[in-house]
A and B are shown apart, each in its own frame.
Chain A
Amino acid sequence: MEIVEIIKVVVAGIICWLNFVLIDTYFGLPEKPGVLGAKTIGEKIRDIGGNIHGGYFMGNIVCSPDASAGTLLASIMSYLMGVEGGIIAALLVWIGNRLCADPGYAGTIGALTITAIIYLLSPIIEAKYFIAGMVLAIFTIQGFEHKYASILLGKIAKKMNRGE
């Protein structure tokens, strides 16, 4: 019984990881620091031996609510309210993006896509497992090992022609 739940959490984590990394890379987070604070985080990541484009990606996640925040908040609201909750979360994430002086497309589109994915997968994986999966996904990028995570993000950015 416990094994089935752990497998569900891991599968939801992989889906969330692919969702927010692909959307954030498509909207050009690794290209340049959007705000001034992201620049100093990127240079710090480069100083410890990582890739600077991965560093800009991490700094942009810290300094404004992007597709990662959209994914987490939309899965929270889908767990609590159903499909309408995801749309409310998208609106609130857009307001938060505008507060941090960002265009705000990445957060809104990330929230809407994860709402659609949860609605399609709801008979198999409930929305509760997506919350834990998103926390697991952000842990592998921001909390586990910064050097290798930034090198991996830099490779993905180079493959999608964003950065370099």
Chain B
Amino acid sequence: MDIVEIIIGVIALLMAIRIFLTRSRARKLLYLCCLSFCISALIALYVDSPMGGIVAITYFVCSTLSSNAIAYTIEQAKDIE
């Protein structure tokens, strides 16, 4: 095990627990963004070939799209109610 992987793993663990415990919906999205940074870095360090880089980029861009849709829906639901 590497010191780099250990640092990223500790941060990812902390983020997963904080997503579970926070009550506010908008702040959960901020923690989720930080967690997807960590997972994307871990994928690239684990696979260690150019295909792993492609997987990391595709995963990160798609998870950003998903966060965008969730934040848009929170705004719309606030307007309707």
Is there a contact between chains A and B in the complex with CB atoms less than 8 Å apart? yes
Interface residues of A (CB under 8 A from B): 2, 5-6, 9, 35-41, 44-45, 48, 58-59, 61-65, 68-69, 72-73, 76-77, 79-81, 85, 89, 92-93, 95-96, 99-100, 128-129, 131-132, 134-136, 138-139, 142-143, 146
Instruction: Please tell me if the beta carbons of A65 and B60 are within 8 angstroms of each other in the complex.
Output: yes
Give chain B nearest CB distance to A116 CB in angstroms: 19
Instruction: Please measure, in the bound complex, the distance between the C-alpha atom of A2 and the C-alpha atom of B14, giving whole angstroms.
Output: 22
24 pairs, CB–CB < 8 Å, chain A vs chain B: A36-B72, A37-B70, A37-B71, A37-B72, A40-B26, A59-B71, A61-B33, A62-B30, A64-B68, A72-B60, A73-B60, A76-B41, A76-B56, A80-B44, A92-B57, A92-B61, A96-B57, A131-B44, A132-B8, A132-B41, A135-B11, A135-B38, A135-B41, A143-B15
Contact partners of A2 in chain B: CB under 8 A: 3
Question: What A residues does B40 contact at CB under 8 A?
Answer: 72-73, 76
CB proximity of B21 to chain A, nearest CB, Å: 13
Q: Output the least CB separation between B9 and chain A (Å).
A: 10
Contact A76 B44, CB 8 Å, known A59-B71, A136-B7: yes
- Residues from chain A with a CB closer than 8 A to the CB of B48 are 80
Given A62-B30, A142-B30, A146-B30, answer yes or no on A136-B11 (Cβ-Cβ < 8 Å).
yes
